[in-house]
Structure formats: structure tokens, C-alpha cells
Amino acid sequence: MAHKVKNPILTGFNPDPSMIYLDGSFYIATSTFEYFPGVQIHKSEDLVNWEVVARPVTADKIDMSSVPQSGGVWAPCLSYNENERLFYLVYSNLTSWSQGPYKDCANYIITASDVAGEWSAPVYINSSGFDPSLFHDDDGKKYFLNVKWDYRKPNGKEFTGIYLQEYDAKEQKLVGKRHNIFMGTDRGLVEAPHIYKKDGYYYLFTAEGGTTVSHAETVARSKSIIGPFELHPLKYIVTSFETNNPMQKAGHASICFDNSGNYYMAHLIGRREVNERCPLGRETSIQNIIWRDGWPYVAGENQGNQPRSFFEIPKRIDKKRINKYANDEGVIEFSKESLRLYFQSIRVGVENKVKIIDENTLELTGGESIRSLAGQSALLVRQQDFKFSSQVEIDSVPKSYNHIAGLLYRYNEDNQYLFSVTQDEFTGRKCLSVMIANNGEFSYRPLDVYFDENITLKLDVNYCGGQFSFRTANGTFRTKHGETKTCDEGFERVWKVFDVSRLSDEYAKPMGFTGAFIGVYAADFDNRKWKARFRNFIYKGLN
């Protein structure tokens, strides 16, 4: 009896899935944009339980220092070549994308015999467009695809087709003639190409409509890899445009099949459940695929091309504890593995700024401001739940108002909230503040909270609303005028219930492509030497 699995299967910011199957395991590679290390690869043996096993685009494979918001790694393509016994990973590094008509990108290929092992040095391929992909044909040839970008065209017309060119793996370069194989449909904005071969046909999957509510996945086929391609009878294999489907933005898909011949399609969606916005970002869902008259379709009675809120697997599989780095209370361990595969930093690695004291305690050397594109000291995790609680104890003594340690809740540099500890220069005591960035407008809210001991900062989020609170080690604090107060019911609420939906693609200007993150942050505007200690960091979903 088939068992239903709820979508999305990768919650929180996990867009642009590239899915393959190999030797009993499924792998999904997703975009990471400005978050470091680049490309997140999940592995599953049952399509229910997924684990991050690699983030292969490390500092020796990319330079993201100062890339813009939602720049960096776009739309990776993961593939495997049986004859070579090699994984191939293709990715872009966007160093500009929103200013003017240009998309400055560099496309690279890296390889590895083990997806979790050592990956090769990057091979630069081209810069003619983003969303690169690699297809391994059954005659041994390889073909490289990417968006054909024409900066001369106005208002979205820059998307002028899909380039295809043969790739010589020995010479590590493109060879032969370059072909524009597909111009897309009237939906426009054709991107994200993947090619598959079945029963003598080449099937071209592309995304169209832009990665918003008009998003769609277009399928076309041809007997020749360079076309001409005929469109799918439904034109779009999946889309949720102009429907009330709770899984909006459906598109940007890839397919694979297992040893039993079951076909699955991974695609992104966005759940607009917070003021019609998606702070969880674009997530990954899976659909069952059936073949009819030589064409793939989303399975399900009268389904058409709507994404389903579930997919089916042959037998029941129980879901295990989601986060292996967390204990039952939600405390996340600090370890080399968790820093590599669970936390992420912003644009650059922070290895030289981090010291693990023990599994519960981390020391972080202060870096640049929350607006910096180059040198922030932050370790962050994805928001994966509409309701969650996060907290951390801060054991630090700021010597200046330029020393800041806190709990950072962010979408990008222009939209974020920082709940932090610093020093009041007049009293010499520690104090609390909230810093807010609202589409680039910065505001600073000092709080009437003064203390000397350790403090735990907490954030509770319930869909639209976020609430900061704190608790001191001895349960008391003072006001600016010296009045002693007791923390109410363990934690004392501060500031106001704030708008979580600001941390979303829809709110950002220009529109972004990531999602909300929460984690620890330290800054030293004096000399980049001050160190903050964080204990018992918690992220716990409450859905």
C-alpha cells in the first residue's frame, strides 16, 4: 500500500532543486546564494528522511566577498556519470544581477568520486548566462547548457533562450558550435535548463515565468539534442499560477527514477502563509511522475499540472528526529561537523573567527556591521518552521558600545532584526538594544535594561509576529534610573511584536531569492579583536 509523504520535504530556504538517484540513495542539490559554503546537498535513502551531507563550494572554489544581496551561488546542477564514476556539480557565481540589465556571472564545474568527499578544483566554463547544467549523453558526449542572456533587451526580454554546447571533459572546455535550442513560451523568462533522455527522445525541462507566483515548469522534447523541440500537451508540467493552491511559485524542476522505475520530480514552491509572503523562502517539494503517450505528467486523478501537497512512496517510512545536531530541548551542538553542515556564514567563511570551547559553547571574534557585504561574524541556521523558538546565552563583557553580541534574525542586509548586548558608555554596564533594517532604512532602539551577569536572549515567532525577550542569570535587571526589576515568568518581553513577513523575497527591494535565517552575531567596530561567547544556542520548531 502506498504511503503519503507531506510536501514540502525540504522546508525553509532550499530552492532550485537538482535531484538524482544513485545506488539506493537520492540526492538533492539546492541554491545557497550569498550563504557560505555554497550549494547544499541533501541525501535520503527513503525520500522521507533527508540529511545535509555536503556543501562543496568552499573558499577555494568561490569568491563571494562583496557579492550583492541574493547574489553568489545560483541554481546548481548535480549529475553522475556511471562510466567515470564521478559526480559533477555545475554552479554559477553571480557578482551582480539587480543593477541595470547585467547578470555578471561565472559558471564552473567541479567533480568528486564521493558526494561528501573531496571535490576537485573548479573549472571555469563561461559567463554567457546563469543556471548552468550538464547532460551526459549515452554516446559518451557531454553537453553544457545555460540561459542565453542579452543585456540589450528591456523589461524581462533579456531571457533569450537556452544555449547548448558540447563539453570536452578531457580538455575541460566547451567545443564545437553553440546552439540556441529553445526560446521558451509566451510565459517568458526561460531559465533553469535540464535535459533527460528516454526512449530516443531528449526531454528539455525549463523554468518560466520568473520565480514568483507566475512560475512554471515547461517541458519540450526532440529526437535531436539541438531541436527543434515540441511542447508538452499541457505546455507546463507543473504550475500553481492563478490558483488558490497553498504551494505557490511551483517550478524550477528536475526528475530522476529509482531502481524500481518510479519517477520523481523535485521542484520549488513557496508557502505564502505570512501576510501573503514567504519568510521560509522557496522550499523543495516532490511529485510522483507518470508517463503517458511519451510525456511525463504529475501523478494524481484529475491532477493536471497542479502540485500536490503530498507524494507517494511504496511503503510506510517513519520520520526520524529532524535535526541530528539538536538534543531534545533543541540545544544545537557546536562541532566541526555542525559548523560545516548545519550553520552557514554570510559570503565568506568565519573559521579564523571561531573557537569551539565545548559542544555547548562557541567563541566568536567580532567582525563588521550587519550591513557589511564582506566581513560579518555570524553563524546562522535556516528558519524551517512558521512557529519556532530560538535563544542563546551570551557570556561576554563589552568594553565599548562598538562591541556587540546578539541574536540575529535576518533576510538580507536591508531587512533584519538584531537583538543584542553592548555597553552603555556612561554607566559602564551591559545593556540591551534592538537594531532594525527595513528595506535599507536603519533604526536603533535602546532598551531600558542594564545588567552585569550573563544574559539569555530569546526570539519567539508565530507566523506573522516575532517577539524578543530576555532572562538574566540571577533573574533581575536594572533600569536606567537604578530601579531593580525581576524578569517576568522567567523571560521578560521587550520592544514590540514585530513583522516577520518583512524577511521575505516579496518584501525585499529589489526582490530577493533567499529566506529568513536566525543565529549568533558578534561585531567589534574598534579593532576586530573583541570576542563574544555564546552558550546553549537553541532553534526549535513548534509547528
Does 148 fall in a domain?
A: yes
Q: State whether 353 and 223 are in the same domain.
A: no
- Domain for residue 390, yes or no? yes
Residue 395 and residue 498 share a domain: yes
The answer to whether position 328 is within a domain reads no
- Exposure string of 483-508, with b = 16+ CB inside 10 Å and e = fewer, is eeeebeeebbebbeebbbbbbbbbbb
Interval 503-532: pLDDT, tens: 999 999 999 999 999 999 999 999 999 999
Same domain for 26 and 135?
A: yes
Looking only at the bridges linking them, the beta strands covering 310-313 and 25-30 are unpaired
Residue 524 is assigned to a structural domain of this protein:
yes
3-state secondary structure 452-510: CCCEEEEEEEECCEEEEEEEECCCEEECCCCCEEECHHHCEEEEEEEEHHHCCCCCCCC
Do 224 and 373 fall within a single domain?
no
Answer with the one of 217, 245, 273 that is the final residue of a domain.
245
Task: Please indicate, yes or no, whether residues 464 and 343 belong to a single structural domain of this protein.
Answer: yes
In a shared domain, residues 95 and 238: yes
Spatial distance between the Cα atoms of 181 and 224, rounded to a whole number of angstroms: 10
Q: Is the pTM of this model over 0.95?
A: yes
Q: How far apart are CA 506 and CA 514, in angstroms?
A: 10
Instruction: Confirm whether 441 is domain-assigned.
Output: yes
| pLDDT tens digits, one per residue of 305-322 | 999 999 999 988 888 877
In a domain, 308, yes or no: no
- 524 and 402, same structural domain? yes
C-alpha span between 342 and 337 (Å, rounded): 8
Are 205 and 77 spatial neighbours (Cβ–Cβ below 8 Å)?
A: no
Q: Tell whether 409 and 508 lie within a shared domain.
A: yes
Same domain membership, residue 353 and residue 212: no
Count how many domains the chain has. 2
User: Hey, which residues are catalytic here?
Assistant: 16, 191
Residues 354-397 have pLDDT tens digits of 999 999 999 999 999 999 999 999 999 999 999 999 999 999 99
Provide CB contacts within 8 A for 514, sequence distance 6+.
13, 33, 34, 35, 70, 281, 411, 412, 505
Domain of 488: which CATH number?
2.60.120.200
Domain ranges, residue 398: 336-541
Residue by residue, pLDDT tens for the chain (543 residues) are: 589 999 999 999 999 999 999 999 999 999 999 999 999 999 999 999 999 999 999 999 999 999 999 999 999 999 999 999 999 999 999 999 988 899 999 999 999 999 998 999 999 999 999 999 999 999 999 999 999 999 999 887 999 999 999 999 999 999 999 999 999 999 999 999 999 999 999 999 999 999 999 999 999 999 999 999 999 999 999 999 999 999 999 999 999 999 999 999 999 999 999 999 999 999 999 999 999 999 999 998 767 899 999 999 998 888 887 789 999 888 999 999 999 999 999 999 999 999 999 999 999 999 999 999 999 999 999 999 999 999 999 999 999 999 999 999 999 999 999 999 999 999 999 999 999 999 999 999 999 999 999 999 999 999 999 999 999 999 999 998 889 999 877 899 999 999 999 999 999 999 999 999 999 999 999 999 999 999 999 999 997
Buried b (16+ CB within 10 A) or exposed e, 227-244: bebeebeebbbbbbbeee
- Cα(first)–Cα(last) distance of the chain, in Å? 28
Residue 464 inside a domain? The answer is yes
124 in a structural domain: yes
The last residue of one of the domains, among 245, 273, 296, is: 245
Can you tell me the distance from the alpha carbon of 410 to that of 370, in angstroms, rounded to the nearest whole number?
9
Distance CA 96, CA 75 (A): 15
Here the CATH number for the domain that contains residue 91 is 2.115.10.20
Q: Which of 202, 223, 245 is the last residue of a domain?
A: 245
Task: Give the model's pLDDT for residue 302.
Answer: 67
